[in-house]
Structure 1
Amino acid sequence: MHTFRPYLQLVRYNHNYRRLWLSQAIANFGDWFGMLAIYALIQQYTDSEILIGLIIVVKLMSFAVFSPFAGYLTDRFDRRQLMIWCDLGRAVVVVMLLLVQSADMIWLVYVLISLQMMMAAVFEPAKSSSIPNITTKDELMVANIISTLSWSVIFTSGMAIGGFATEYLGMKTVFILNGITYIVSAWYIKRAVIPHLRSQEHLAAIASPWVGIKKGIAFLKSERHVLRPTLAKGWIEVSLGALVYLLIIVSDEILMMGSVGLGLLYASRGVGTAIGPIFLRRFFPDETLWIKALGVCMSLVGVGYFFMGFTSSLYIMMALVLFAHAGSGANWVSSTVLIQKRTPDEYRGRVFSTEWLLLTLTESVSVMIAASLLHFEILSISESLMFFGGLLIIVGGLWNYYIARAESKWQQAILDDQI
């Protein structure tokens, strides 16, 4: 119980964080809850696997393309108001899916989902940028672990509940309920107090979007200690995007269990993502080691998936997925905390948007490469797991050779200046 005391105390006594966290949890649940209904809607009117795959591409690319401008917005305007309007806008968008009543209207699904992801591209960096403003430095790590833990629980439950709801309540009901989750999320954010730590001089200097975006790029180029953790999620997605995609194929063609097998593998992914950051906080309290730990975590993810290529046992696969995503969860939280601590508030939105841009682009490319390798029968499923797992082991090593070495030199320079 003592281990969980910091988490319970933060949620109990920090009212502003609790409200922001609840809004995030409810909105995330709505996202996963409604996802299968969107797939079912496309399937109902088109029966096309290509069009279902296209919706995934539209989601990722809409987020990526809008990210630079989204980052500017989160640094230029009131983040609390932006999150409220994004939630209300997303509520309208998902309810408008009810307008799709025939195959001739299926194009509207892609337009609406693109708008939904553009608003998510604003909401996510605004949320991440706000957490340091409502927590102390000691609370920051705990706050991000709670957010990741809740994401894991919602990830493992939201799609399952959404699947049952789509089947037994119908798509229309699911879309309406999804819209309600966004409204409830907006209500919680409205009740939170999120301070501004940006000077009027800085806000005036970035009145132009183009100037604001250029200043954000220049900041990352000059502040390499901020750039390093910003690269971490995109770096791991070089292979991880493909590996997560391969779980779908593994469930269908190796385990022969369809959605049931995928649900179990995804549940293992969620549990691993939840426990990884807790172990990181427990065994690596020294933040100066985190950049190096990021590379180790990447390689551990690769090890887990590499050995999946040698087995067809569900239980062994679940254990390996849990092990792998403990590494990815630790990677996610530690890189997020480092960005939050190292980045001044006036640049934080643009930095987080850059991180999301890199993440979504590398994930998209990774998935397309994996799908192509399977489609053209260049690699089998097991060989693909070993290939991308092995690649991720190498990627982790390259991270420590180049990025972690640069971090060590920067830290040594700080120590030398203090002497």
Structure 2
Amino acid sequence: MNSPIRNPRFRALWVAGLLDDTIDWMLVTAIPIFVYRMTESAMTTSLAFLIELAPGVLVGSLAGIAADRYDRKKLLLVGTLLHAALAALLLPVTSGDQLWLVYAVIAGRAVCAQFVLTSKNALLPDLVEPGQRAAASNLVVLNSNLGRLGGSLLGGVVVAGGLRPVAAGSVIGLLLTAGVVSRIRRPERAQVGPGSEAAATGSAPGGPVATSVSAGSAAGERAQRAEATDPAAAAGPGRMYRHWREGVAVITGDRRLRVSFLAAILCAIGQGLFVVLFVVFVATTLHGTDAEIGLLRSVQGIGGIAGGLALGFLGTRVHPRPLITWGALSFSGLALLIWNAPMVTTAFGVYVALFAMVGLPGGVYYAGVLGMVQQRVPADHLGRALGSFYTVSNGAQAIGMALAGLLAERLGPVPLLNAQAVLYLAAGLMALLVLGARNTPETPANATPPAPAQTPLPDPHG
């Protein structure tokens, strides 16, 4: 009954996110299939993914700074409209001779996607009550899995007719998304930017418990005073660097966030191996068609949806640490089973079931990481922290993609995909040893301690 989906402001953001994620998954599935079928090269396929990640690495922190300095709703709307314009450029692409245009669109939409993703997640504190932020974050993760389920299947089926129908569907869907975003209404108390009243009086993670100023927040206030007295301090690269440094300080100053980010780096490298080699694995090892590639990419969303619904139902009763730990460990075990199952069988139905199952721990893990950031970072630094998270994740994925492109023809897809599973195993063990797996609430590391009656039980994991 207390689900944030009952909040019309959040519901509008959730619907817009669902549309955007569906289009994104359709493109993410269709474009690599198109490139691989045109070239039959793992290297050119990995190049497509690397081009998509490079702008994210370069502008991830900039997107986070923008989300903390400017109107998050407007950033979300502009990013969505620009994405629609870029998708329209794919309409004339019909052959491998036009891959240069495909690569250019990939780079441009990656920039837009970074601003959309960061502003969408940073907008949550403006739309929901502090106690609903974890549940709202879980529902955002559910969106990605719903989008994967529909968008990946659409991408695999529609790309059989070339990129033109994919581009046309993307433009229509993104324009609908922009229309929903334009209807989002924020409460009057919501303000965006460092030092906002909303951030200081209840939007910070943990509500009233987190009303004291963290080291990062204090730095932000000092920067604001400097900008007010010195116009030169309010402009230029120095300001951008200072805001970026404040966001990084929030992460490095919090032990649990540091460990969560290190685990995310390992998983992102593994994800980079996967996104390139998945198409190669299904096409060569399982001898799958384009539609079957899209179907397997799609059914991963089934497990993710099941996990997202469960997390949405549990709401504030489940906390990030066990999600990170058990999500990564369970994903590793299922991945090892999937990549080595061809030694026993290549029956397509078996892989439909296995890929549907692996989406559950994958979605749980991601919900845990995002929930850890949402709950432990002050609201006025959330955009910068998310920007740093996406930058680090994109950079680590780029490493995995480059390794996949360089080593796939020499080693084959299966050994490298086993390496993905081992990386998730290492991340899960790290989380188990440092974060633990107890289902206890998260509060900002520098927050004022709660009243004695509200103090949680001692946590042996720190």
Letter in 2 for 1:253: T
Q: Structure 1 residue 38: deviation in Å?
A: 4.3
Distance, in Å, in 1 between the alignment partners of 2:309 and 2:24 is 25
> Quick one: which of 221, 229, 254 aligns to 1:223?
254
Distance, in Å, in 1 between the alignment partners of 2:19 and 2:171 is 11
Q: Which has the higher helix share?
A: 1
| Alpha-carbon contact 1:34-1:174 (below 8 Å) kept | yes
1:372-417 superposed Cα distances (whole Å, 9 cap, x missing partner): 443213xx54444444324432331123224549x99x98999899
State the SS of the aligned residue for 1:376. Answer: helix
Matched, 1:362 2:393: no
| Alpha-carbon contact 2:274-2:417 (below 8 Å) kept | yes
The corresponding residue for 2:171 is 179
The corresponding residue for 1:388 is 420
Matched, 1:241 2:241: no
Root-mean-square deviation (CA, aligned residues, Å) is 3.6
Q: Structure 1 residue 72: deviation in Å?
A: 1.0
| Alpha-carbon contact 2:247-2:388 (below 8 Å) kept | no
CA shift in 2, pair 1:373/1:112, >3 Å = closer
The corresponding residue for 2:410 is 376
CA shift in 2, pair 1:137/1:158, >3 Å = same
Distance, in Å, in 2 between the alignment partners of 1:223 and 1:348 is 14
1:165-221 superposed Cα distances (whole Å, 9 cap, x missing partner): 4445x6445424322322222221121123225436858458421221122222322
The corresponding residue for 2:361 is 327
Q: Which stretch of structure 1 is more off in the superposition, 253-262 or 22-31?
A: 253-262
Query: Which residues in structure 2 correspond to 1:255-334 (within 5 Å)?
Result: 255-279=286-310, 286=317, 290-308=320-338, 309-310=340-341, 311-312=344-345, 313-334=347-368
Q: Runs of 5+ in structure 1 lacking a partner? A: none
State the SS of the aligned residue for 1:196. Answer: coil
| Alpha-carbon contact 2:57-2:395 (below 8 Å) kept | yes
Q: Structure 1 residue 100: deviation in Å?
A: 5.6
Query: Which residues in structure 2 correspond to 1:38-49 (within 5 Å)?
Result: 38=31, 47=39, 49=41
CA shift in 2, pair 1:276/1:220, >3 Å = same
Letter in 2 for 1:301: F
The corresponding residue for 2:47 is 54
| Alpha-carbon contact 1:302-1:324 (below 8 Å) kept | no
The corresponding residue for 1:64 is 57
CA shift in 2, pair 1:387/1:192, >3 Å = closer
Distance, in Å, in 1 between the alignment partners of 2:250 and 2:424 is 29
Matched, 1:349 2:383: yes
Distance, in Å, in 1 between the alignment partners of 2:95 and 2:271 is 36
Letter in 2 for 1:365: I
Matched, 1:22 2:15: yes
The corresponding residue for 2:433 is 401
| Alpha-carbon contact 2:157-2:294 (below 8 Å) kept | no
Q: Structure 1 residue 286: deviation in Å?
A: 5.0
Query: Which residues in structure 2 correspond to 1:75-94 (within 5 Å)?
Result: 75-94=68-87
Letter in 1 for 2:428: G
Q: Which stretch of structure 1 is more off in the superposition, 86-95 or 100-109?
A: 100-109
Query: Equivalent pairs: percent with the same residue?
Result: 18
| Alpha-carbon contact 1:298-1:396 (below 8 Å) kept | yes
Matched, 1:189 2:221: no
State the SS of the aligned residue for 1:257. Answer: coil
Letter in 2 for 1:175: A
Distance, in Å, in 1 between the alignment partners of 2:132 and 2:257 is 20
CA shift in 2, pair 1:173/1:118, >3 Å = same
Letter in 2 for 1:366: G
| Alpha-carbon contact 2:49-2:276 (below 8 Å) kept | no
Distance, in Å, in 2 between the alignment partners of 1:321 and 1:119 is 29
CA shift in 2, pair 1:396/1:135, >3 Å = same
Distance, in Å, in 1 between the alignment partners of 2:156 and 2:409 is 28
Distance, in Å, in 2 between the alignment partners of 1:397 and 1:356 is 22
CA shift in 2, pair 1:33/1:242, >3 Å = closer
Distance, in Å, in 1 between the alignment partners of 2:382 and 2:133 is 15
| Alpha-carbon contact 2:14-2:140 (below 8 Å) kept | yes
Distance, in Å, in 2 between the alignment partners of 1:40 and 1:384 is 20
Letter in 2 for 1:61: A
The corresponding residue for 1:124 is 117
Distance, in Å, in 2 between the alignment partners of 1:248 and 1:382 is 12
Q: Which stretch of structure 1 is more off in the superposition, 204-213 or 124-133?
A: 204-213
Distance, in Å, in 2 between the alignment partners of 1:215 and 1:260 is 46
Q: Structure 1 residue 136: deviation in Å?
A: 2.1
The corresponding residue for 1:154 is 147
CA shift in 2, pair 1:271/1:100, >3 Å = closer
> Quick one: which of 107, 127, 133 aligns to 2:126?
133
- Count of matched residue positions in the alignment of Structure 1 and Structure 2: 406
Letter in 2 for 1:396: G
The corresponding residue for 1:111 is 104
Matched, 1:336 2:331: no
CA shift in 2, pair 1:284/1:404, >3 Å = farther
Q: Structure 1 residue 65: deviation in Å?
A: 1.6
Distance, in Å, in 2 between the alignment partners of 1:335 and 1:154 is 19
Distance, in Å, in 2 between the alignment partners of 1:346 and 1:415 is 20
TM-score w.r.t. the length of structure 2 is 0.75
**Structure 1 stretches of 4+ moved >6 Å:** 101-104, 281-284, 410-417
TM-score w.r.t. the length of structure 1 is 0.82
